[in-house]
Amino acid sequence: MWGICLVLILACATGEYSEVQVVQEMDNFLENPHYLKNHEIGELFTQLAKDYPDLAQTYTIGKSLEDRPIYALALSAPTGESKNGDLLRPMVKLVANIRGDETVGRQMVLYMAEYLATHYDGDTEVQDLLNRTEIHFLPTCNPDGFAKAQEGNCESLPNYVGRGNAANIDLNRDFPDRLEQSHVHQLRAQSRQPETAALVNWIISKPFVLSANFHGGAVVTSYPYDNSLAHNECCEESLTPDDRVFKQLAHTYSDNHPIMSRGNNCNDSFAGGITNGANWYELSGGMQDFNYAFSNCFELTIELSCCKYPVASTLPQEWQRNKRSLLQLLRQAHIGIKGLVKDASDFPIADANIYVTGLEEKPVRTSKRGEYWRLLTPGIYSVHAAAFGYQASAPQKVEVTNDNQEAVRLDFKLTPVETNFDGNFRKVKVERSEPPEKRKEQFDGFLTPTKFEHHNFTAMESYLREISASYPSLTRLYSIGKSVQGRDLWVLEIFATPGTHVPGVPEFKYVANMHGNEVVGKELLLLLTKYMLERYGNDDRITKLINGTRMHFLYSMNPDGYEISVEGDRTGGVGRANAHGIDLNRNFPDQYGTDRYNKVTEPEVAALMNWTLSLPFVLSANLHGGSLVANYPYDDNENDFNEPHMRQRNSSINGRKANPTEDNALFRHLAGIYARAHPTMHLGQPCELFRNEFFADGITNGAQWYSVTGGMQDWNYVRARCLELTIEMGCDKYPMAAELPRYWQDHREALLQFIEQVHHGIHGFVHSTIGTPIAGAVVRLDGANHSSYSQTFGDYWKLALPGRHNLTVLGDNYAPLRVEVEVPDSEPFAMRMDVTLMPDDPQHWASANDFRIIENVVNTRYHTNPEIRARLAELENQNGQIASFGYADNEFSTYFNYLKMTSDIGEPEEHKYKLLVVSSLYDTAAPLGREIVLNLVRHLVEGFKLQDASVVDLLKHSVIYFLPQTNKFPDVFAMYNVNSSICDPVLGDELAERILNPETDLAKDMFLQFLRSEHFDLMLTFGAGSSELSYPRGDSVLEKFAHGMQRTEFNYSPLQCPASATRQAHRETTERLTNLMYRMYDLPVFTLGISCCRMPHHKQIASVWRKNIDKIKNFLALVRTGVSGLVQNDKGQPLRESFVRLLEHQRIINVTKNAARFQLMLPHGLYGLEVTAPNYESQVIRANIEEGKITDLGTIRLHPFTLIRGEVVELASKANGGSTTSIAGMVLDESNHPVRNAKVSVVGQTQLRNFTNSLGQYHISAVPLGTVVLKVEAPRHVEATRQMHLIQGGLATENVVFHLKINEHVFGLPRLLFILFASILIIVGVVVCVLCAQFWFYRRHRGNKPYYNFSLLTQKGKEQFDLEDDEAGDDGETELFRSPIKRGMTIQPYFDEEQLERILHTDDEDDDGPHMEPELDVADDSGDEIVMLHNPGNKRRH
């Protein structure tokens, strides 16, 4: 048969060249049309290769699942030139039958192969094509599917038999997808079909330029992309950057196809017979997108026939329709530009990128021979080439016409980056046969010459682009966000298969240059990147590291700061902060509180947090400069936010208390690894500038060194579960470039060893008994609370020191599991521990956590309003001693039912806290919240019955109101009953919104009235959409409450709820409502997100309860920690008007009206409490509050002011002869109003004091000569001190005026009154003297009667005093000392005598302010122990 064929072809060669005639006459392969079986394809290809040895080569790309070979044939004419003659000959492929039952293309590909092979001799068109083009034919991708498909079936068989491969997988959805989520990608890579894997290899390994992929079931040409980020089902175009090229290619096919071009076949409608893939229908994992996104090849998907598997007799007609289209399409491989990229010595450069302006998103890459092809439509383009290790070429202008179907030739010659190098650079790199060891010696560890220099942002960016382009299979360059000034925060991922998290492979990160002027880390990471990539494959250690560790390097977290930093800056601060002037290492959320440095999150920090939380990082280091030490968490102490006197920072490392984490031993070990691998760090020698800093072993606990609030390393540990160290790389922050080689030598080994630590410890997988991976399981070690979570695939890591450890694994709805594990103390220092969790029994959980209340966790459902009422009434009936149900017995309870619980209902509640628990402020979340409230009530009732200590304690200390909201329940419940998977029912007018709305609404008004009258201490309510807790921001005590509540959130991994518009709206509403409640009603509201859905399926209620019970218990436990005391005077009489204030806090707590008792909920920690009563000296008491304990301060006795206002005590001034003097002057406030009753005293001489009169005047006698410090304290004002030198004896020093700042929340005197006083001063001065005399007289006659009797007179309310203050008589009956004497000191002299020297005492908050000699300020002359240390020297900051 082949002989005949050959004869015919020969005949043809001598015959006419009328093309149509030739086809019609000669194509004998069309005789007896039939579909070739797979083995027949193999035979045909073998035959062709045998018959046309110069043209054809046959090969297989792999085998199918059922072991059928996948045959391919390559056709290309030999060239005259012997060597490299086929250089720049583009490669095209025709592929078909990826779906086994779409068969027309299969035969078309075979026909075309035969046609071209048989017509080469004699047909100039074919000759031209094969002389210039290499064409590969792959008639079937899916031989197994084809074997099952049935001829004549126009639609797929039932269950798509034959469409997929032998495993019935649709191969055209099995390719890696450019938009794929990491875990999907990974799962699929593991289960990729052999056919797809073979195709992927084939496509990647050959430099194909153009491709067509034939399908059936429609008649249209489709072009990429096939999917979009939006993942719409259809009808939305998703265009490539090369859309113009693709449209031209598609039209080339369609326009030459007699029926496709009409666009109206098979009941479809496609304009011009072409369509964008995504516009037609969404498809992910398709071959066409894979070609474009992962290789240089442009592929079309061509649908050939309405019928998928038509009978063979139609094949000749199909050939006639497609032949011209095919031939024309093959020619399109020659549009655009092509060329060679070489180096100076004419060595081809592989993997160089060719960039076309405007199409930079899709660079093409050169082949191993340095060739490239870039398909382009006609136009003028600017093109340049770039390759790693070379300077990018200059852009070249090129005009593309595509005339004569010939690509424009455009070659590039690149020069190595090392211009002083002798030109052999590329040889060194290309010829890998040279032993790498030799090169390592040559280039100091690197395999190519390396420049040690600083990189600004642009240089760094191009360095990273080039290196990632040079190692595309080992790297992925991505940006995690932008800086304030819009610079990308570039991260390079280095891993054997970059792009996705691989189950069982740990994630590691280095972050450098967070402080813009600390640059060593950044440059060393750039060097480390080059070092590792070059040595991959040449160095077992590096190869192992890259194969088994997913590493992410963020080279510059603060590129804006870097840009203004200066080389040679050793210890400066220019460029340290970001472009907003914020120190990024103070800007993270802190476990202990919020201050002005971290109140607003900077974009760089936000980007870093999102990134860190998006990957399961195990280990990290944060590279700084300015010292040489490895620093480990924590960086601050819990008192850094609330105790002003502790906040002074000390640069001496011994001065502070270490604050270790639960993983302290491990952290010390990790820090030690780094320090010991560095030649000098472990010696712990101080830097020149900080001579007193010695770090034992070169490591330190952050808090012990100096406090950093809002630091990144603590955030990583606390929030992201990632162990992070802060490495100080050296004493100089920005050394000269010439010093970089030394830094590299010193740190290279340490940097590598630290990465290797990510493998040391315990890792494995968490599965259920049926083998399902369990994500989000909590993994803990040795009883510590700090936990890790298992990842999507159930994989987890827990770094650990060698030795025996107890591993605890907790999965939601699984029984806890505890195993003992031994980590070996030699290589590999690691232990793999896979665990299987058993489903738990709710009864076990209930007996362990919920007093065995089965009702709370079994058969949970939503209760209706009558049911809720019935339950609450029943609870009251059965537990009348502790519960009381408010229902329709007053106006409020007609709208809201509530249950009140406390021990001994009816006993006085004065000493108890009042708590309010509301189901939800959202009517749509209330049904769930009500169930939680009901569960909680049952929990407390049962706990009380069992006399559980914590419940008894709780009810003893507090009155709790439970308020299950009922208003709109019927509406919401109706929505749920229609659709129980509704998740988030939507209601227009939620209670929260009505509260914020000024319009009157009876229910809302009743609720607010309730809040106003009851004065609750705290309120808890429930929300949905996340597991976050919202609370009023800005108060450190409330913040600590919140942290306390969330402390056990690590029993469960945080909820990952999809965002939605209503969820966002509710979050904002909650925030506004929280602020409103706090401001208007002084009520801190805590809203706890308990579930993603506002109304989950009723069976889920049990799980919601189980996940949140700990946080709710924590809330209730807040009442168990705090402080209490009684305030009395010297005589033991209660001071009922006294009040208590936390230092540096706004809130004032009044004592009770009977016993003058105060009680404050306070989180544990150190506090200063100021106790104040009118006419009494305030006291500041230092209280150390312990967890779970109400610290009783006992009776606090306040002393009355012993001197009467306006009185002047003359001390024995004559005794010391001329060695004393007197001081007189005035005390005014900032508005020049006189300050009455200000205490003026000489520091250190308690008897030397006096008070100002109503005109603000004072006078002190018998003051010794020399240097004295005068102090003024006044109610509601900031105290002031002043140092004076009194030189001349006997001569009175007068007009010493103090100007006091008014303390914040105090009313000032109206200006008019001051003028009145001033008038009195001027006009009636004499009268005043007379009055004084009378006063004196009166005073003498009073004898020794104590004056505190005044305070026992009936006193007016505070507000009244505020208003009537000025009207009060000078005798001061109604003086009110409600404002504390603030301990911060500032004075502003009004005017001074020349003889006075003054020293300003400022306690400026600015860290960088000048500081004087250390001195001990005794803050209170009454002997309180508060001591402030002013420290000298530099403030150290990392």
Active site residues per annotation? 303, 728
Rounded to a whole number of angstroms, the minimum distance from the CB of residue 453 to Zn ion is: 22
Alpha helices in 256-392 (DSSP H): 277-280, 287-294, 315-331
Tokens, residue 706 = 């100096």
Q: Which is nearer to Zn ion, 363 or 559 (CB)?
A: 559
- Comparing CA positions, the residue from 167, 160, 174 lying closest to residue 144 is 167
191 Cβ contact list (under 8 Å, min separation 6) = none
Minimum CB distance to Zn ion, residue 531 (Å)? 24
CA distance 1300 to 1328: 24
CB nearer to Zn ion: pick between 605 and 846:
605
Nearest to residue 917, comparing CAs of 858, 965, 967?
Answer: 965
- Output the residue with the shortest Cβ distance to Zn ion: 624
Q: Read off the tokens for 1044.
A: 């306390």
Between the CA atoms of 953, 954, 957 and 962, what dihedral angle is there, to the nearest 10 degrees? -150
Nearer to Zn ion, 520 or 941 (CB): 520
402 and 375 in contact (C-beta within 8 Å)? Answer: no
Q: In the complex with Zn ion, which residue's Cβ is closer, 620 or 1252?
A: 620
Least distance to Zn ion, CB of residue 196, Å: 49
Residue 1075 CA neighbour count, 13 Å, CB half? 8
What amino acid occupies position 334? H
**560 or 756: whose CB is closer to Zn ion?**
560
- Output the CA torsion 194→199→200→201 (10° steps): 90
Q: Smallest distance, Å, CB 627 to Zn ion? A: 9
Within 10 angstroms of residue 1074's Cβ, the number of other Cβ atoms is 23
Smallest separation, CB 1407 to Zn ion (Å): 14
Query: Are the beta carbons of 439 and 432 closer than 8 angstroms?
Result: no
Nearest distance, CB of residue 731 and Zn ion, angstroms? 13
Q: Which is nearer to Zn ion, 624 or 914 (CB)?
A: 624
Q: Residue 462, SS3?
A: helix
| Closer residue to Zn ion (CB): 27 or 728 | 728
Residue pair 1399/1283 in contact (Cβ under 8 Å)? The answer is: yes
**In Å, how far are 593, 1270, 1376 from 1246, measured between CA atoms?**
39, 11, 23
Q: Are 984 and 1095 in contact (CB under 8 A)?
A: yes
CB of 515 to Zn ion, least distance (A): 4
Least separation in angstroms between residue 1408's CB and Zn ion is 15
Least CB distance to Zn ion at residue 622 (A): 8
Are the C-beta atoms of residues 586 and 593 closer than 8 Å to each other? Answer: no
Give Cα 373 to chain centroid, integer Å: 42
380 three-state secondary structure: strand
Q: Which is nearer to Zn ion, 308 or 624 (CB)?
A: 624
Q: Tell me which residue of 1116, 1126, 1125, 1140 sits closest to 1188, measured CA to CA.
A: 1116
Residues 6+ apart with CB under 8 A from 970: 865
Which of residues 576 and 1236 has its CB atom nearest to Zn ion in the complex?
A: 576
Peptide bond into 510 cis (omega under 30): no
Which two structure tokens, joined as six digits, stand for 638?
A: 């819990």
| Least spacing, CB of residue 1438 vs Zn ion, in Å | 4
Cα 1231-1234-1239 angle, rounded to 5 deg = 120
- In the complex with Zn ion, the residue whose CB is nearer, 133 or 517, is 517
Are 1276 and 1229 in contact, with CB atoms under 8 Å apart?
A: no
Smallest gap from Cβ 585 to Zn ion, in A, equals 6
Residue closer to Zn ion (CB basis): 256 or 701: 701
H-helix or E-strand spanning residue 91: strand 91-96
Pairing of strands 1280-1286, 298-303: unpaired
User: Nearest CA to 244 among 376, 379, 352?
Assistant: 376
DSSP conformational letter for 602: -
For 1323: left if phi > 0, alpha if psi spans -120 to 50, otherwise beta; the answer is alpha
Residues in touch with Zn ion (CB under 5 A): 515, 518, 624, 1438
Structure tokens at 109: 């590909």
Shortest distance in whole angstroms from residue 583 CB to Zn ion: 9
Nearer CB in complex with Zn ion: 144/728: 728
Q: Could you give the CA distance from residue 1132 to residue 1124 in angstroms, rounded to a whole number?
A: 17
Q: Alpha-carbon Rg of the chain, whole angstroms?
A: 42
Residue pointed to by tokens 């993983």? 663
Q: Where are the beta strands (DSSP E) in 757-816?
A: 761-768, 778-781, 787-789, 795-799, 803-810
CB of 625 to Zn ion, least distance (A): 6
Cβ-based neighbours of 648, under 8 Å, separated by 6 or more: 1428, 1429, 1430, 1431
Cβ proximity to Zn ion: between 515 and 1299 the closer is 515
What does each C-alpha distance from 1389 to 142, 438, 1230, 1398 come to in angstroms?
93, 77, 11, 9
Where in 151-238 does DSSP place strands (E)? 208-215, 220-223
Tokens 């009434």 identify what position? 873
